[in-house]
Amino acid sequence: MARDIRVLVTAGPTREHLDPVRFLSNASTGAQGAALAEEALARGFAVDVVHGPIEAALPPGARSHPVVSALEMLEAARSLHPACDVLIGAAAVSDFRPREAAPRKVRRGGGVWTVELVPTADILLELGKAKGTRVHAGFALETEDLVEGGLRKLREKGLDWLVANSPEAIGAAAGRYWLLGADGTREDLGQVTKRELARRLFDAILGTLSADQAPGGSCR
């Protein structure tokens, strides 16, 4: 099965600069992306990781593509996407960016600083337009209605697989997860480590890849 499978992972947070020293971001460490890269390498796959500023170390063997903003992440992922068989969006992309970043550090003396935020590009949604026969998977962090919210994102982003989790997973070694599939799978994975989650997700992804190759499946 370990034919030349190429996996593209987005990982970690993005930063959207307000001025040269301040930014909007989140607490993502990149640990899930690193665990996915480890699992992919252990299975003999080639791995590209497009990541924002991360604390987690990527495994040797993973090709690292560091970026800062959501737009840079989209551009890097877009250039690697045509060659990949599997895309996993594990990045905690900032959903908003300032309409305009101040070119110089904004001083406190000026009183109230009003910033207008506009949505950033949705990387999985954009790459979904060129999905072809690739397998696409994503993550959804939900504070309520984990499964319902996850299923909505699975559909909206045209994904094959989606892992839904609650916010405790951020920065932690483990979390509580659901695995949702476009094939109707709704599996409560319970409390598992990020590496175990990566193993379960790759099992699911490989199932989709081999179903596509089976007689009657679409030709890859």
| Catalytic machinery residues | 26
* 204 in contact with ligand C5P (CB under 6 A): no
The nearer residue to ligand C5P, 10 or 29, going by C-beta atoms, is 10
Residue 87 CB, shortest distance to ligand C5P, in Å, is: 9
Q: Which of residues 66-125 bind ligand C5P (CB under 6 A)?
A: 70, 89-91, 93, 95, 120, 122-124
3-class state of residue 106 by DSSP: coil
Q: How far apart are CA 12 and CA 143, in angstroms?
A: 19
131-170 residues in contact with ligand C5P (CB under 6 A) are 138-141, 153
> Would you say 68 or 106 has its CB closer to ligand C5P?
68
- CB neighbourhood size of 52 (10 A): 26
Single-letter residue type at 90: A
CB 179 within 8 A of CB 185: yes
Write out the E strands in the chain: 6-11, 16-17, 23-24, 46-51, 63-66, 86-89, 96-98, 117-119, 135-141, 161-165, 174-181, 186-193
We find the least distance from the C-beta atom of residue 130 to ligand C5P, in angstroms, to be 14
Nearer to ligand C5P, 62 or 127 (CB): 127
Give the interface with ligand C5P as residue ranges (CB under 6 A). Answer: 10, 70, 89-91, 93, 95, 120, 122-124, 138-141, 153
